[in-house]
Amino acid sequence: MQGKQVHSRAALIAAMTIFGTIGIFRRYIPLPSGAVALSRAAVGVLFLLALMLCKRQKPDFAAMRRNLLPLLASGVFLGFNWVLLFEAYKYTSVAVATLSYYMAPILLILAAPFFFGERLTLKKGICAAVALLGMVLVSGVVETGVSNIAELRGILMGLLAAVLYAAIVIINKRLRDISALDKTVVQFAVSVAVLLPYVALAEDIVFSAITPTVALLLLVVGVLHTGLAYALYFGSVERLPTGTVALFSYIDPVLAVLLSALVLEEPMTWLGALGAVLILGAAFVSENVHQKKP
């Protein structure tokens, strides 16, 4: 049992580390966000289907049919969640986009009374207020006002992506008797189905921009950041305590913030750094409060 725990922790750390680097890769892919998201979903679903074939795991079509409507909805939200996140990376720094996206746990706190009948306690309310203050500091409006429209647009995209992610979590909580792998395969496939017409109608792709290097980056994002990372994540969370999963999940945003500064040399003011601490701290405390609820 101890060996399985160690293996699962290593897998989870690997998954969150991979997730934390996706913003760097997006920076070097000169394609519209919808096209990148479509490629990610298509390669990811093919990877997971190949994984199921290697494991000789047959899809549970009965479970998929029972959960068809919520799976369709979450698949649509997932596809556009990626589009919005990739757009956020275009208009603002990787650090700010990631922190905007990481408002999702706070949004779930505010949504819980309406969707799950949970009481909004004083501690959770304080966590939400602290995170919102952190978001204001990260946005830079305290220092520069609203003059940088592109920066604010990136923040808005990140926050909208967080809204969709929160919606996916809410929907997934209503799924019944379906494995994580089956669920993810359907969601990726639905994302492909909705993003295909979106990319065809709404985006202008310059195919000459798809050089061998860009194609390799798209393949890495699809295989490494999507197929492999999701497989590692779902394969580990089933064997680990919720608290451990919540703690290790912070590898993703912390690594993204560090890489933004160290690799891309994207600046962050001391007020922005304080805002980052407030957002991540509030999300961490709120998750711990939620877990301690009897």
Mean pLDDT of the chain, nearest integer: 87
Provide CB contacts within 8 A for 227, sequence distance 6+.
Answer: 43, 44, 45, 46, 47, 48, 51
The answer on pLDDT for 145 being more than 70 is no
Whether the CB-CB separation of 158 and 101 falls below 8 Å is answered with: yes
Q: Could you give the CA distance from residue 292 to residue 285 in angstroms, rounded to a whole number?
A: 11
Q: Could you give the CA distance from residue 155 to residue 50 in angstroms, rounded to a whole number?
A: 36
The answer on pLDDT for 146 being more than 60 is no
**Could you report the per-residue pLDDT of 199-232, keeping only the tens digit for each?**
999 998 877 889 999 999 999 999 999 999 999 9
Say what the pLDDT of residue 294 is: 35
Q: Could you give the CA distance from residue 7 to residue 24 in angstroms, rounded to a whole number?
A: 27
Say what the pLDDT of residue 26 is: 94
Provide CB contacts within 8 A for 30, sequence distance 6+.
Answer: 209, 214
86 pLDDT tier (thresholds 50, 70, 90): very high
**Could you report the per-residue pLDDT of 234-278, keeping only the tens digit for each?**
888 777 776 677 778 888 998 998 899 888 888 888 888 898 899
CA angle 64, 69, 75 (to 5 degrees): 80
Say what the pLDDT of residue 220 is: 96
Q: Supply the DSSP symbol for 59.
A: P
For residue 69, what are its two tokens? 């409507």
Q: Which of 273, 256, 279 is nearest to 98 (CA)?
A: 256
Whether the CB-CB separation of 170 and 115 falls below 8 Å is answered with: yes
Say what the pLDDT of residue 28 is: 93
Sign of the C-alpha dihedral, residues 144, 90, 264, 96? positive
Say what the pLDDT of residue 293 is: 40
**Could you report the per-residue pLDDT of 94-116, keeping only the tens digit for each?**
999 999 998 888 888 888 888 87
Provide CB contacts within 8 A for 165, sequence distance 6+.
Answer: 77, 81, 101, 104
The answer on pLDDT for 118 being more than 90 is no
DSSP 133-147: HHHHHHHTHHHHTT-
- Torsion angle, alpha carbons of 150, 156, 157, 162, to 10: 150
**Residue count (the chain):** 294
Say what the pLDDT of residue 279 is: 87
**Residue ranges per structural domain of the chain:** 2-291
**Could you report the per-residue pLDDT of 37-71, keeping only the tens digit for each?**
999 999 999 999 999 999 888 999 999 999 999 99
Q: Roughly how many angstroms between the first and final C-alpha of the chain, as a whole number?
A: 26
Greater model confidence, 286 or 225 = 225
Say what the pLDDT of residue 250 is: 84
What's the Cα-to-Cα distance from 264 to each of 89, 257, 259, rounded to whole Å?
Answer: 12, 10, 7
